[in-house]
Amino acid sequence: MGEFELIRRHFARGQTGPSVALGIGDDCALLRPSPGLQLAISSDMLVEGRHFFPDVDPAALGHKSLAVNLSDLAAMGARPLGFTLALSLPAADDAWLKAFADGLHALADAHACPLVGGDTTRGPLNICITVFGEVAPERALRRDAAKAGDDLWLSGCTGEARLALERLRGTPWATVATGDEALCRQRLERPTPRLALGMALAGLAHAAIDLSDGLAGDLGHILAASGVGAEIDRAALPVAPALQALSETHRLECLLQGGDDYELLFTAPQDVRQAVLAAAEISGTPVHRIGRITADRGLRLLGADGLPKDLRARSWDHFAPGSDPVS
Ligand code: ADP
Ligand code: MG
């Protein structure tokens, strides 16, 4: 199978959409953003051995490659228009490619975000997606827009993906009940981008970020960009059943330093609490109010007694010493 046959068979499946004037096959794709809206653009690269295990299910990998990019659009409050795929492959394995493309296209179809172009080359397995979206000016959920006094909100819950990763690594403390094992694996391998919630929050919330590297570290990006601090109430953090059996130390590690959660963390003024809950309701996404933004810099975790607990805010950093890849 040659390069063009591979593209035709697996990637150019005739997908299109109202925002696509010209898709795969020419020198460029042509997108048609709505008049007056701004383009939102984001790229994410997934590398074998660093972001996923070599034996990962290819359909799940196709899903996750696009999901992490759509999650960035969600965190900006943007609506997807389309995406490109730059793929480096060691060999043209038809069964693997079919499963990968099926996983990719299923998520793309679910969010009306068609594949409009890309590049294909031989080399170590490496998947780079660039996603294009649109958002109205002044409505984008930027990291630098948090204000002292804002509520701090979290969609869904954190930590299950981290627990699944520790299970795959064989970490002794990572125990989980049989029923929860598959659920945690699902969270790690098939994250749900919170697009509907992000769009419902655009123009309502102040700042937002999607959680890819752990709650504490990713919140740190909002705090630094906005020049503010935050308090998290330990008792307000949602805890998935799978995390109940862990010690509090390991549970907190999963909750705050997990990574791969792909939930939205956002801030909003206190007087829009009801509107935030309504946005959660219409988007079918649970949200929890987990703390507040403060004028005092720094991040504090408050225990049930209201007193600060020790919080070593660490998150995933590919260039930090000792940042082992997944394998
Ligand atoms: P070029 O010579 O301009 O780089 P290519 O020959 O690489 O173009 O690609 C031909 C067409 O197929 C282009 O429209 C390109 O966007 C598309 N394409 C290539 N690889 C992929 C891929 N992995 N997924 C989707 N479209 C692809
Ligand atoms: Mg090319």
Task: Provide φ and ψ at 96, rounded to 5°.
Answer: -65, -45
Q: Which of 170, 163, 156, 157 is nearest to 245 (CA)?
A: 163
CATH code of the domain containing 154: 3.90.650.10
Distance 88 CA to ligand 1 centre (A): 12
> Has residue 218 been placed in a domain?
yes
Structural domain total, the chain: 2
Counting as low any pLDDT under 50, the low residues of the chain are: 313-314, 327
Averaged confidence pLDDT in the chain = 93
Residue with tokens 């493309």: 101
Give the SS3 label for residue 190.
coil
Distance 5 CA to ligand 1 centre (A): 11
Q: Decide: 126 in ligand 1 pocket, CB within 6 A.
A: no
Q: Decide: 58 in ligand 1 pocket, CB within 6 A.
A: no
Q: Decide: 89 in ligand 1 pocket, CB within 6 A.
A: no
Do 98 and 180 reside in the same domain of the chain? no
Do 115 and 74 reside in the same domain of the chain? yes
Proximal ligand: closest to the CA of 127: 1
> Has residue 316 been placed in a domain?
no
Distance 122 CA to ligand 2 centre (A): 12
Question: CA torsion angle for 313, 146, 270, 139 (degrees, to 10)?
Answer: -130
Separation CA 163–CA 242 (nearest Å): 8
> Has residue 51 been placed in a domain?
yes
Return the pLDDT at 77.
Answer: 98
Return the pLDDT at 309.
Answer: 79
Return the pLDDT at 305.
Answer: 79
Do 129 and 155 reside in the same domain of the chain? no
Q: Decide: 184 in ligand 1 pocket, CB within 6 A.
A: no
Distance 86 CA to ligand 2 centre (A): 9
Return the pLDDT at 327.
Answer: 37
Q: Which atom of ligand 1 is nearest to the CA of 26?
A: 14
pTM assigned to the model? 0.93
Q: Which atom of ligand 1 is nearest to the CA of 120?
A: 20
> Has residue 318 been placed in a domain?
no
Tell me the two tokens of residue 321: 């010493």
> Has residue 7 been placed in a domain?
yes
CATH code of the domain containing 57: 3.30.1330.10
Distance 119 CA to ligand 2 centre (A): 4
Beta bridge partners of 237: none
Do 210 and 89 reside in the same domain of the chain? no
Q: What is the Cα Rg of the chain in Å?
A: 20
Do 228 and 273 reside in the same domain of the chain? yes
Domain that holds residue 111: 3-138
Do 55 and 83 reside in the same domain of the chain? yes
Distance 27 CA to ligand 2 centre (A): 9
> Has residue 57 been placed in a domain?
yes
What is each CA distance from 219 to 3, 73, 117, 153, 298, in whole angstroms?
Answer: 42, 17, 33, 11, 10
Q: Which atom of ligand 1 is nearest to the CA of 115?
A: 25
136-169 residues labelled b (16+ CB within 10 A) or e (exposed): eeebbbbbebbeeebbbbbbbbbbbbbbbbbbbe
Separation CA 100–CA 68 (nearest Å): 15
> Has residue 325 been placed in a domain?
no
> Has residue 33 been placed in a domain?
yes
Q: Which of 201, 93, 76, 82 is nearest to 150 (CA)?
A: 201
Tell me which of 85, 104, 138 is where a domain ends.
Answer: 138
Q: Decide: 100 in ligand 1 pocket, CB within 6 A.
A: no
Q: Which atom of ligand 1 is nearest to the CA of 10?
A: 24
Do 112 and 197 reside in the same domain of the chain? no
Do 155 and 61 reside in the same domain of the chain? no
Distance 171 CA to ligand 2 centre (A): 42
Do 244 and 104 reside in the same domain of the chain? no
Return the pLDDT at 13.
Answer: 85
Return the pLDDT at 313.
Answer: 46
Q: Which of 293, 278, 301, 104 is nearest to 196 (CA)?
A: 278
Separation CA 261–CA 162 (nearest Å): 8
Listed in order, strand segments (DSSP E) in the chain are 20-22, 30-31, 38-47, 79-89, 115-122, 126-135, 151-155, 208-210, 229-233, 264-268, 287-294, 298-302, 308-309
Tell me which of 138, 163, 191 is where a domain ends.
Answer: 138
Beta bridge partners of 128: 45, 86
Distance 144 CA to ligand 1 centre (A): 36
pLDDT tens-digit series, residues 10-56: 999 888 889 999 999 999 999 999 999 999 999 999 999 999 988 99
Report strand pairing: 115-122 vs 229-233: unpaired
Choice from 119, 125, 128, 130 to test ligand 1 binding pocket (greatest atom count within 8 A of CB): 119
Separation CA 109–CA 91 (nearest Å): 27
Largest CA distance in the chain: 65
Do 172 and 125 reside in the same domain of the chain? no
Q: Decide: 128 in ligand 1 pocket, CB within 6 A.
A: no
Do 243 and 211 reside in the same domain of the chain? yes
Give the closest residue (by CA) to ligand 1 atom 18: 118
Do 109 and 218 reside in the same domain of the chain? no
